[in-house]
Structure 1
Amino acid sequence: MSLYAEHTSAELGDRLRDAYAVTAEFMADIIDQTCRRFPSAGQSGKTAHVERLIRSGAWTDAALALIDLELPQWQVRRLVYDEGEWHCALSRTRELPDWLDQSIETHHADLALAILAAYVEAQRIAAPETRPSVPAVRRDAGSFYEPLFVDNIG
């Protein structure tokens, strides 16, 4: 993952933690910074559904629809309200026992923000690293690595 993407993800995570409620502008920022498939020609029905949910202010449903659109391999493992906070866990393999699963767990006083925080964290983990497909070779090889010509080996 690029340094910019890590910084953006950390900044967005801080904003989610400090927020009191979801707004249309905040949801637009989340979509702009995290979504690769929104809007997508191949997923026009799902993106239209997310847009309708945002326009109607259905923040929890919009957060769940974003997970379905952007991270189809992730599923909500657990949503629990405990001691004034919502706890959300996302997982790739929710059929595994808790102790074997590597899930993402977040919490917030607002249900939609707890789900969005888990979504942003899952996006950060799922984001491909920006590195070349071919490894780089150092050009400053020392004298130890000098070419050797061998005429007859046998």
Structure 2
Amino acid sequence: MTAALRRLDPPSLSQRLHAAPVTTRSLMLDIIDHACRRFSSLDKSERAARVTRLIDAEAWVDATLALMEAELPMWQIRRIAYDEGEWHCALSRERELPDWLDAAVEARHADLALALLAAFIEVQALAVEVSRPSVPTVRPAAGPLYEPVACENFS
């Protein structure tokens, strides 16, 4: 099955992330299988090899950051903060804008890697909802009965 045909199921992935106490290998691989559209095309690249090595080494935060770099090249981390036992992460496309103008995606969790992954899943869900073609649409060809009519009088 191609990556474009895979169905992203963000509610269940989000629920699993919020319920998980720590990051695990199987959770990371499920996220790659269900939420990553570009990773399958990166199989032979250095980026994919790096993410795989980091997952094998259980370097969850580094693996998440490498995955975000490969999957979301236009998005950057806007804020990471630790407050009252939870990590708060915000991802943004326009990091230089003031907070009140920016439409950042935020997530939180007690584990830093899971907070980053939750924000990553939210951005991926937004990308699926707002998917637009990269090429503008063109009106379909006129039907066989279509005939243009001139309405102006040139006399």
Q: TM-score, normalised by structure 2?
A: 0.78
- Runs of 4 or more above 3 Å deviation: 128-131
Q: Which residue of 2 aligns with 1:61?
A: 62
CA deviations 1:40-63 (Å, max 9, x no partner) are 348701111100100000000111
Residues in 1 aligned to 2:37 and 2:43: alpha-carbon distance in whole angstroms: 12
SS across alignment from 2:37: coil
**Paired residues for 1:27-66 under 5 Å:** 27-41=28-42, 44-66=45-67
Encode CA deviations 1:48-90: one digit per residue, 9 max, x unaligned.
1100100000000111111100000000000000000000000
- The 1:84/1:66 distance shift into structure 2, 3 A limit, reads same
CA distance in 2, matches of 1:42, 1:84: 37
Structure 2: which amino acid aligns with 1:17?
Answer: H
Residues 23 and 114, structure 2, Cα contact 8 Å, conserved in 1: yes
Structure 2 counterparts to residues 108-127 of structure 1, below 5 A? 108-127=109-128
Amino acid at match of 1:39: S
Quick one: distance in 1 between partners of 2:103 and 2:44?
A: 28
* Alignment-derived partner of residue 146 in structure 1: none
Contact 2:77/2:92 (<8 A) preserved: yes
**Which residue in the other structure is 2:105 paired with?**
104
* Matched length: 137
**8 Å CA contact 1:40, 1:47 repeated in 2:** no
Cα 1:130–1:10 shift into 2, 3 Å = farther
Letter of the 1:116 counterpart: L
Q: Deviation at 1:39?
A: 3.4
Please, what is the CA RMSD of the aligned residues?
2.7
Preserved contact between residue 77 and residue 90 of structure 1 (Cα < 8 Å): yes
Amino acid at match of 1:65: A
Unaligned runs of 5+ in 2: 140-150
Match in the other structure for 2:21: 20
Counterparts of 1:132-151 in structure 2, within 5 Å, are none
Tell me the SS of whatever aligns to 2:62. helix
Q: CA deviation at 1:130?
A: 8.8
| Distance in 2 separating the partners of 1:42 and 1:10 | 26
Task: Assess if the C-alpha contact under 8 Å between 2:85 and 2:110 holds in 1.
Answer: yes
Mean Cα deviation higher: 21-30 or 32-41: 32-41
